[in-house]
Structure 1
Amino acid sequence: MIDDGPKPPPRTWSRQKSTSVFSSPWFDVRQDAATRPDGSPGRYDHVLSGGSVTVVALAEDGRVAVTRQWIYTHEETQWRLPAGRIDPADSGPRAAAARELREETGISAEGWRHLGTVNCADSFTNHRDHAFLATGLTRGTARLEPGEADLRVHLLPFEEALSLVVEGRMPHAGSAFALLMVRALGVR
Protein backbone atom coordinates (compact mmCIF):
# COMPACT_ATOMS: atom_id res chain seq x y z
CA MET A 1 0.00 0.00 0.00
CA ILE A 2 1.35 3.42 -0.95
CA ASP A 3 1.01 6.28 1.52
CA ASP A 4 0.20 9.50 -0.33
CA GLY A 5 0.47 11.64 2.77
CA PRO A 6 -2.06 12.84 5.33
CA LYS A 7 -5.71 12.06 4.74
CA PRO A 8 -8.78 13.48 6.44
CA PRO A 9 -10.00 11.31 9.30
CA PRO A 10 -12.65 8.80 8.24
CA ARG A 11 -16.24 9.62 9.07
CA THR A 12 -17.84 7.45 11.73
CA TRP A 13 -21.28 6.73 13.09
CA SER A 14 -22.60 9.36 15.50
CA ARG A 15 -25.26 8.53 18.11
CA GLN A 16 -27.92 11.23 18.44
CA LYS A 17 -30.32 9.48 20.83
CA SER A 18 -30.46 6.05 22.44
CA THR A 19 -33.65 4.43 23.76
CA SER A 20 -33.96 1.21 25.76
CA VAL A 21 -36.50 -1.05 24.05
CA PHE A 22 -36.11 -3.94 26.50
CA SER A 23 -34.00 -4.46 29.59
CA SER A 24 -33.21 -7.52 31.73
CA PRO A 25 -30.52 -8.38 34.27
CA TRP A 26 -28.51 -9.95 31.41
CA PHE A 27 -28.72 -7.43 28.59
CA ASP A 28 -30.31 -4.23 27.27
CA VAL A 29 -31.82 -3.88 23.78
CA ARG A 30 -31.25 -0.37 22.44
CA GLN A 31 -32.61 1.56 19.48
CA ASP A 32 -30.43 4.48 18.47
CA ALA A 33 -31.11 7.45 16.21
CA ALA A 34 -27.75 7.95 14.52
CA THR A 35 -25.92 9.68 11.74
CA ARG A 36 -24.23 7.25 9.33
CA PRO A 37 -20.65 7.72 8.07
CA ASP A 38 -22.00 9.24 4.82
CA GLY A 39 -23.89 11.88 6.85
CA SER A 40 -27.37 10.46 6.32
CA PRO A 41 -29.72 9.78 9.25
CA GLY A 42 -30.22 6.19 10.32
CA ARG A 43 -31.38 3.82 13.01
CA TYR A 44 -29.17 1.27 14.73
CA ASP A 45 -30.66 -1.53 16.86
CA HIS A 46 -28.22 -3.34 19.13
CA VAL A 47 -27.78 -5.24 22.38
CA LEU A 48 -25.64 -4.06 25.30
CA SER A 49 -24.10 -6.76 27.45
CA GLY A 50 -21.87 -6.80 30.50
CA GLY A 51 -19.63 -9.37 28.84
CA SER A 52 -18.53 -12.87 29.69
CA VAL A 53 -15.53 -15.02 30.50
CA THR A 54 -14.18 -18.35 29.26
CA VAL A 55 -11.56 -20.43 31.09
CA VAL A 56 -9.00 -22.95 29.87
CA ALA A 57 -8.45 -24.89 33.12
CA LEU A 58 -5.21 -26.74 32.30
CA ALA A 59 -4.08 -29.48 34.69
CA GLU A 60 -0.42 -30.45 35.15
CA ASP A 61 -1.03 -33.67 33.19
CA GLY A 62 -2.18 -31.63 30.15
CA ARG A 63 -5.89 -32.31 30.52
CA VAL A 64 -8.44 -29.50 30.13
CA ALA A 65 -11.79 -29.12 31.90
CA VAL A 66 -14.49 -29.17 29.21
CA THR A 67 -18.23 -28.99 29.81
CA ARG A 68 -21.08 -30.53 27.89
CA GLN A 69 -24.60 -29.20 28.28
CA TRP A 70 -27.79 -28.19 26.48
CA ILE A 71 -27.50 -24.64 25.14
CA TYR A 72 -30.99 -23.19 25.06
CA THR A 73 -30.45 -20.56 22.34
CA HIS A 74 -28.86 -23.07 19.95
CA GLU A 75 -31.26 -25.91 20.86
CA GLU A 76 -28.54 -28.53 21.13
CA THR A 77 -26.03 -30.07 23.49
CA GLN A 78 -22.59 -28.50 23.01
CA TRP A 79 -19.01 -28.90 24.14
CA ARG A 80 -17.53 -25.74 25.70
CA LEU A 81 -15.00 -24.59 28.20
CA PRO A 82 -16.25 -23.34 31.58
CA ALA A 83 -17.77 -19.95 30.84
CA GLY A 84 -20.35 -17.44 31.95
CA ARG A 85 -21.32 -13.84 32.33
CA ILE A 86 -19.55 -11.17 34.34
CA ASP A 87 -21.91 -10.46 37.24
CA PRO A 88 -22.31 -6.93 38.63
CA ALA A 89 -20.87 -8.22 41.95
CA ASP A 90 -17.64 -9.41 40.25
CA SER A 91 -14.71 -7.02 40.63
CA GLY A 92 -13.80 -7.66 36.98
CA PRO A 93 -13.35 -10.35 34.35
CA ARG A 94 -10.65 -12.24 36.29
CA ALA A 95 -12.91 -12.52 39.36
CA ALA A 96 -15.79 -13.67 37.15
CA ALA A 97 -13.54 -16.32 35.57
CA ALA A 98 -12.56 -17.71 38.99
CA ARG A 99 -16.20 -17.74 40.12
CA GLU A 100 -17.49 -19.41 36.95
CA LEU A 101 -14.75 -22.06 37.04
CA ARG A 102 -15.59 -22.92 40.68
CA GLU A 103 -19.36 -22.88 40.11
CA GLU A 104 -19.37 -25.04 36.97
CA THR A 105 -16.54 -27.47 37.73
CA GLY A 106 -15.62 -27.14 41.41
CA ILE A 107 -12.07 -26.31 40.30
CA SER A 108 -10.01 -23.52 41.90
CA ALA A 109 -6.79 -22.23 40.36
CA GLU A 110 -3.66 -20.57 41.72
CA GLY A 111 -2.29 -19.30 38.41
CA TRP A 112 -4.17 -17.00 36.06
CA ARG A 113 -3.20 -15.58 32.67
CA HIS A 114 -5.36 -13.35 30.49
CA LEU A 115 -5.33 -14.82 26.98
CA GLY A 116 -7.15 -11.97 25.29
CA THR A 117 -10.60 -10.62 24.58
CA VAL A 118 -12.75 -11.49 21.60
CA ASN A 119 -15.65 -9.38 20.29
CA CYS A 120 -18.78 -11.42 19.64
CA ALA A 121 -21.25 -10.50 16.86
CA ASP A 122 -19.97 -6.92 16.42
CA SER A 123 -22.85 -5.65 14.28
CA PHE A 124 -25.40 -6.94 16.76
CA THR A 125 -23.90 -6.43 20.22
CA ASN A 126 -21.03 -4.93 22.20
CA HIS A 127 -20.57 -8.34 23.88
CA ARG A 128 -16.97 -9.26 24.67
CA ASP A 129 -15.64 -12.55 25.99
CA HIS A 130 -12.50 -12.42 28.14
CA ALA A 131 -10.45 -15.62 27.92
CA PHE A 132 -8.20 -16.87 30.71
CA LEU A 133 -5.76 -19.71 31.31
CA ALA A 134 -6.04 -21.23 34.80
CA THR A 135 -3.26 -23.41 36.21
CA GLY A 136 -2.33 -24.86 39.60
CA LEU A 137 -5.74 -26.53 39.81
CA THR A 138 -7.45 -27.93 42.89
CA ARG A 139 -10.63 -30.03 42.59
CA GLY A 140 -13.69 -29.26 44.69
CA THR A 141 -17.46 -29.42 44.43
CA ALA A 142 -19.37 -27.63 41.67
CA ARG A 143 -22.28 -25.33 42.58
CA LEU A 144 -24.51 -25.50 39.53
CA GLU A 145 -27.45 -23.17 38.98
CA PRO A 146 -30.86 -24.76 38.18
CA GLY A 147 -30.39 -24.11 34.44
CA GLU A 148 -27.08 -26.00 34.54
CA ALA A 149 -28.39 -29.23 36.10
CA ASP A 150 -27.47 -31.14 32.93
CA LEU A 151 -23.89 -29.75 32.78
CA ARG A 152 -21.24 -32.48 32.82
CA VAL A 153 -17.51 -31.87 33.27
CA HIS A 154 -15.00 -33.89 31.26
CA LEU A 155 -11.22 -33.77 31.63
CA LEU A 156 -9.89 -34.15 28.09
CA PRO A 157 -6.32 -34.15 26.83
CA PHE A 158 -5.53 -30.70 25.40
CA GLU A 159 -5.16 -32.08 21.85
CA GLU A 160 -8.60 -33.71 22.07
CA ALA A 161 -10.19 -30.46 23.27
CA LEU A 162 -8.47 -28.57 20.45
CA SER A 163 -9.67 -31.14 17.92
CA LEU A 164 -13.27 -30.40 19.00
CA VAL A 165 -12.67 -26.82 17.80
CA VAL A 166 -10.96 -27.81 14.55
CA GLU A 167 -13.69 -30.35 13.73
CA GLY A 168 -16.46 -27.79 14.37
CA ARG A 169 -17.78 -29.70 17.39
CA MET A 170 -17.07 -26.84 19.84
CA PRO A 171 -18.79 -23.84 18.18
CA HIS A 172 -18.67 -21.55 21.23
CA ALA A 173 -16.57 -18.56 20.10
CA GLY A 174 -14.95 -17.93 23.48
CA SER A 175 -13.94 -21.58 23.84
CA ALA A 176 -12.46 -21.76 20.34
CA PHE A 177 -10.59 -18.48 20.83
CA ALA A 178 -9.21 -19.52 24.23
CA LEU A 179 -7.95 -22.94 23.11
CA LEU A 180 -6.42 -21.50 19.93
CA MET A 181 -4.68 -18.78 21.98
CA VAL A 182 -3.16 -21.40 24.31
CA ARG A 183 -1.78 -23.16 21.21
CA ALA A 184 -0.66 -19.90 19.53
CA LEU A 185 1.16 -18.73 22.67
CA GLY A 186 2.98 -22.08 22.88
CA VAL A 187 1.62 -22.88 26.32
CA ARG A 188 0.48 -26.30 25.11
Structure 2
Amino acid sequence: MSDELAWETLAADTAYTCPGFDVVHEDVRLPDGTETDFDFLREGDSVVVLPLTGDGDVVVIEEWRQAVKRVNRALPAGSVEAGDPAPRAAVDRELREETGYEADTVTHLYTAEPANGYADSTFHYFLAEGCTRNGGQDLDFDESISVTTTSFEDLLDAVRSGDLRDGRSAVGVMYYALFER
Protein backbone atom coordinates (compact mmCIF):
# COMPACT_ATOMS: atom_id res chain seq x y z
CA MET A 1 0.00 0.00 0.00
CA SER A 2 1.12 3.47 -0.77
CA ASP A 3 1.66 6.01 2.01
CA GLU A 4 1.43 8.78 -0.60
CA LEU A 5 -2.37 8.64 -0.18
CA ALA A 6 -2.25 9.03 3.61
CA TRP A 7 -3.79 12.00 5.36
CA GLU A 8 -1.92 13.68 8.23
CA THR A 9 -3.91 14.28 11.42
CA LEU A 10 -3.05 17.74 12.75
CA ALA A 11 -5.43 17.81 15.74
CA ALA A 12 -8.28 15.69 17.08
CA ASP A 13 -10.96 16.01 19.72
CA THR A 14 -14.15 14.24 20.71
CA ALA A 15 -17.05 16.41 19.57
CA TYR A 16 -19.76 14.22 21.14
CA THR A 17 -19.80 11.17 23.36
CA CYS A 18 -22.51 8.78 24.50
CA PRO A 19 -22.77 5.12 25.50
CA GLY A 20 -21.79 3.09 22.46
CA PHE A 21 -19.96 5.61 20.30
CA ASP A 22 -18.17 8.95 20.01
CA VAL A 23 -18.10 11.49 17.23
CA VAL A 24 -14.50 12.54 16.59
CA HIS A 25 -13.50 15.78 14.85
CA GLU A 26 -10.08 15.94 13.22
CA ASP A 27 -8.15 18.67 11.46
CA VAL A 28 -6.23 16.97 8.63
CA ARG A 29 -3.77 17.69 5.84
CA LEU A 30 -4.44 15.93 2.54
CA PRO A 31 -1.61 14.56 0.36
CA ASP A 32 -1.72 17.67 -1.86
CA GLY A 33 -1.19 19.93 1.20
CA THR A 34 -4.81 21.07 1.52
CA GLU A 35 -5.93 21.45 5.15
CA THR A 36 -9.52 20.57 6.01
CA ASP A 37 -11.50 18.77 8.67
CA PHE A 38 -13.01 15.32 8.97
CA ASP A 39 -15.59 13.89 11.37
CA PHE A 40 -16.15 10.20 12.03
CA LEU A 41 -17.95 7.83 14.32
CA ARG A 42 -15.70 6.00 16.79
CA GLU A 43 -17.38 2.74 17.70
CA GLY A 44 -14.45 0.37 17.92
CA ASP A 45 -14.45 -3.41 17.71
CA SER A 46 -17.44 -5.74 17.98
CA VAL A 47 -18.02 -9.45 17.63
CA VAL A 48 -20.78 -11.07 15.58
CA VAL A 49 -21.51 -14.70 16.44
CA LEU A 50 -23.01 -17.37 14.18
CA PRO A 51 -24.11 -19.86 16.87
CA LEU A 52 -24.96 -23.38 15.73
CA THR A 53 -26.62 -25.94 17.98
CA GLY A 54 -25.52 -29.57 17.96
CA ASP A 55 -28.21 -30.39 15.40
CA GLY A 56 -27.20 -27.52 13.11
CA ASP A 57 -29.85 -24.94 13.92
CA VAL A 58 -28.83 -21.29 14.28
CA VAL A 59 -29.52 -19.40 17.51
CA VAL A 60 -30.97 -16.02 16.49
CA ILE A 61 -32.21 -13.03 18.42
CA GLU A 62 -35.03 -10.59 17.86
CA GLU A 63 -34.36 -7.15 19.30
CA TRP A 64 -36.09 -3.80 19.19
CA ARG A 65 -34.02 -1.24 17.27
CA GLN A 66 -35.10 2.27 18.04
CA ALA A 67 -33.32 3.90 15.09
CA VAL A 68 -35.46 1.97 12.57
CA LYS A 69 -38.50 1.61 14.88
CA ARG A 70 -38.93 -2.15 14.49
CA VAL A 71 -37.93 -5.55 15.76
CA ASN A 72 -34.73 -6.72 14.13
CA ARG A 73 -33.84 -10.38 13.54
CA ALA A 74 -30.11 -10.87 13.93
CA LEU A 75 -27.16 -12.88 15.10
CA PRO A 76 -25.91 -12.20 18.64
CA ALA A 77 -23.33 -9.42 18.66
CA GLY A 78 -21.69 -6.96 20.98
CA SER A 79 -18.78 -4.71 21.75
CA VAL A 80 -15.30 -5.83 22.60
CA GLU A 81 -14.74 -4.33 26.05
CA ALA A 82 -11.60 -2.61 27.31
CA GLY A 83 -10.65 -5.58 29.52
CA ASP A 84 -10.95 -8.12 26.73
CA PRO A 85 -7.47 -9.29 25.67
CA ALA A 86 -8.75 -10.06 22.14
CA PRO A 87 -12.08 -10.08 20.27
CA ARG A 88 -12.42 -13.83 20.94
CA ALA A 89 -12.88 -13.04 24.65
CA ALA A 90 -16.09 -11.13 23.89
CA VAL A 91 -17.71 -14.06 22.06
CA ASP A 92 -18.53 -16.19 25.11
CA ARG A 93 -19.79 -13.18 27.07
CA GLU A 94 -22.04 -11.80 24.34
CA LEU A 95 -23.45 -15.23 23.43
CA ARG A 96 -24.24 -15.98 27.08
CA GLU A 97 -25.63 -12.52 27.89
CA GLU A 98 -27.86 -12.19 24.84
CA THR A 99 -29.02 -15.80 24.43
CA GLY A 100 -28.20 -17.90 27.51
CA TYR A 101 -26.26 -20.28 25.23
CA GLU A 102 -22.66 -21.47 25.46
CA ALA A 103 -20.52 -23.00 22.72
CA ASP A 104 -18.27 -26.05 22.69
CA THR A 105 -15.94 -24.57 20.06
CA VAL A 106 -15.43 -21.11 18.60
CA THR A 107 -13.62 -20.32 15.35
CA HIS A 108 -12.80 -16.96 13.79
CA LEU A 109 -14.40 -16.55 10.35
CA TYR A 110 -13.77 -13.04 9.04
CA THR A 111 -13.06 -9.43 10.03
CA ALA A 112 -14.70 -6.49 8.28
CA GLU A 113 -14.74 -2.69 8.38
CA PRO A 114 -18.34 -2.16 7.28
CA ALA A 115 -18.39 1.62 6.98
CA ASN A 116 -14.78 2.81 6.99
CA GLY A 117 -15.62 5.97 5.08
CA TYR A 118 -17.27 7.45 8.18
CA ALA A 119 -16.73 5.04 11.10
CA ASP A 120 -13.88 3.05 12.66
CA SER A 121 -16.19 0.08 13.40
CA THR A 122 -14.58 -3.33 13.03
CA PHE A 123 -16.70 -6.50 13.12
CA HIS A 124 -15.02 -9.78 14.02
CA TYR A 125 -17.14 -12.72 12.86
CA PHE A 126 -17.01 -16.02 14.74
CA LEU A 127 -18.61 -19.43 14.29
CA ALA A 128 -19.75 -20.95 17.61
CA GLU A 129 -20.52 -24.66 17.34
CA GLY A 130 -22.16 -27.10 19.72
CA CYS A 131 -24.23 -24.39 21.36
CA THR A 132 -26.49 -25.39 24.23
CA ARG A 133 -28.68 -23.31 26.50
CA ASN A 134 -27.02 -23.21 29.91
CA GLY A 135 -28.93 -20.46 31.63
CA GLY A 136 -30.93 -17.35 31.18
CA GLN A 137 -30.04 -14.12 29.49
CA ASP A 138 -28.15 -11.37 31.30
CA LEU A 139 -29.25 -8.36 29.25
CA ASP A 140 -28.04 -4.79 29.52
CA PHE A 141 -30.58 -2.32 30.89
CA ASP A 142 -31.44 -1.05 27.41
CA GLU A 143 -31.80 -4.41 25.62
CA SER A 144 -35.11 -6.08 24.73
CA ILE A 145 -34.18 -9.44 23.19
CA SER A 146 -36.01 -12.69 22.55
CA VAL A 147 -34.20 -15.86 21.46
CA THR A 148 -35.19 -18.55 19.01
CA THR A 149 -33.57 -21.07 16.70
CA THR A 150 -33.98 -21.60 12.97
CA SER A 151 -32.40 -23.68 10.26
CA PHE A 152 -29.44 -22.16 8.44
CA GLU A 153 -31.33 -22.50 5.14
CA ASP A 154 -34.27 -20.48 6.52
CA LEU A 155 -31.86 -17.80 7.74
CA LEU A 156 -30.11 -17.71 4.36
CA ASP A 157 -33.52 -17.44 2.65
CA ALA A 158 -34.36 -14.53 4.97
CA VAL A 159 -31.22 -12.73 3.77
CA ARG A 160 -32.06 -13.51 0.14
CA SER A 161 -35.65 -12.24 0.47
CA GLY A 162 -34.71 -9.12 2.44
CA ASP A 163 -36.52 -10.25 5.60
CA LEU A 164 -33.23 -10.27 7.52
CA ARG A 165 -32.12 -6.65 7.14
CA ASP A 166 -29.44 -6.42 9.81
CA GLY A 167 -26.33 -5.83 7.71
CA ARG A 168 -23.76 -7.28 10.08
CA SER A 169 -25.81 -10.46 10.46
CA ALA A 170 -26.40 -10.77 6.73
CA VAL A 171 -22.65 -10.56 6.06
CA GLY A 172 -21.99 -13.32 8.59
CA VAL A 173 -24.65 -15.59 7.09
CA MET A 174 -23.49 -14.97 3.52
CA TYR A 175 -19.81 -15.43 4.41
CA TYR A 176 -20.55 -18.76 6.06
CA ALA A 177 -22.73 -19.89 3.13
CA LEU A 178 -20.12 -18.88 0.57
CA PHE A 179 -16.88 -19.99 2.17
CA GLU A 180 -17.38 -22.27 5.15
CA ARG A 181 -20.08 -24.89 4.72
Q: Deviations over 1:69-128 (max 9, x none)?
A: 111222221110011111223232111111110011111012111111111221111011
Matching residue's letter, 1:30: V
Identity %: 32
What are the residue-to-residue correspondences of 1:50-129 with 2, within 5 Å? 50-129=44-123
Contact in 2 for aligned 1:11/1:38 (Cα 8 Å):
no
Partner Cα distance (1:172, 1:86) in 2: 19
Distance in 2 separating the partners of 1:180 and 1:158: 11
Distance (whole Å) between structure 1 residues aligned to residue 140 and residue 3 of structure 2: 49
TM alignment of 1:127-142, pairs within 5 A? 127-140=121-134, 141-142=136-137
* Offset of residue 164 of structure 1: 1.5
Task: Provide the secondary structure at the position in 1 that maps to 2:82.
Answer: coil
Which runs of 5 or more structure 1 residues have no equivalent in the other structure? 1-7
CA contact (8 A) 1:118 1:174 kept: no
Residues 39-85 of structure 1 show CA distances to partners (whole Å, capped at 9, x for unaligned) of: 21111001212221110001222210111111122222111001111
Structure with max Cα Rg: 1
Q: CA RMSD in A?
A: 1.7
What SS does structure 1 have at the residue aligned with 2:180?
A: coil
1:144 maps onto 2:131 in alignment:
no
CA distance in 2, matches of 1:11, 1:56: 36
Point out where structure 2 has 5 or more consecutive residues left out of the alignment.
none
Return the alpha-carbon distance in structure 2 between the equivalents of residues 10 and 168 of structure 1: 40
TM-score, normalised to structure 2's length?
Answer: 0.91
Q: 1:160 pairs with 154, 172, 181, which one? A: 154
Query: Matched residues in 2 for 1:114 and 1:9: separation?
Result: 30
Q: Say which is worse superposed, 51-60 or 19-28, in terms of deviation.
A: 19-28
Query: After superposition, what is the alpha-carbon deviation per residue over 1:135-172, rounded to whole angstroms, capped at 9, x for unaligned?
Result: 122212221223223x1111000001111112222222
Alpha-carbon offset, residue 36 of structure 1: 1.8
* 2:53/2:132 contact within 8 Å kept: no
CA contact (8 A) 1:118 1:177 kept: no
Q: Normalization by structure 1: what TM-score? A: 0.88
Match of 1:46, SS state, is: strand
